[in-house]
Structure 1
Amino acid sequence: MSPSSLRSEEFMAYAMDAWADTVYRIALSHTRSVPDAEDITQDVFVRLLKSTLAFEDDDHLKAWLISATLNCCREMHRTTQRRKTSPVAELPDTRAAPPADEGLFSKVGAVWNAFGSLPPNMRSAMHLRYVEGYSAEEIADMARCRPSTVRSWLFRARKKIKASLEGKDAL
């Protein structure tokens, strides 16, 4: 690809300023790993740089970035599942909730752990609905599924989180 076919520096700076945090948050909610989320964020913006798609408006660009992020998360999940590696050393579980005596922080940690235990499709739907503010129809367009499927994911995710927080097994 020649340098002339790449997007302008101004466009890339605008896109990164406007939506890098959103891309990073989605990637982090999927991977629960800061380095992986950073890698995915970088990959998404490299894809944007190389893309020749003409965007109609900011909403179209944001939807494209979110779809690209979800695709990168799926790709990373697929490649890590196929790759057979053994850990070099046991690492501490950084996802554990803070000690119970820390009040609000322990509740936030419990919610974060419950959210992290959801399957990727439910985690994406929950993030896009409740953090980014998208409707079920908009999420369905991004996830390439039916709105009723998204509503089912949201319902089941809320049920699983509630059961997890109450200390019960869900579904």
Structure 2
Amino acid sequence: MSYWTKLALAISSALTLLVVALTTGGAGTALRAVGANAAVAAAAAPIDAQAGGDHTTAPGKGAIQITIGPTWTIQPWWKLTGEITATCGPFLHVPSGSDLATVTIKQHPDMASGATGGHATGSVFLRCDGAAHTYTVTAWAGGTFVPGTATAAAFAFAAGIDPVTFRFEFQTGQAGPQQVNIA
């Protein structure tokens, strides 16, 4: 149906409702009947169910977009720091603490350099407003990291109320595994 056809149908329905309400003695009964029919029609309308990416509860926002920074820096006290960029939502602000990205970095043992290999994991809370945000992540290491290359992967989870449909939605996303530089 075109826009004008829909508009004409809506106007004629509103006028019919007004005429029925004014000409019958029981305007409340007429309004309830029309409202019930409108609710049934709305519930039976077809829904476009093409999801936009990863798993969501309904056609919605798709997957969380995550990018892992190319360089991670060795810090004192067994940790690495680096950046990720993530885009999620938008969701209405619900302080649940469930919007989270986790990064895992692995460096395989290198017998020539004497490195025993390392494994580091770090997490950061996400701001899910539909815009891309860059976060500094501190990943706590188990094992020794040396300058060189490593493999990194990230996973993110977010949940909240969609500001348009007011439905509770879930989003997930992942990046990697990919090679990163350890400096």
TM class by smaller structure: under 0.3
Alignment TM-score, normalising by the size of structure 1: 0.23
More strand by share: 2
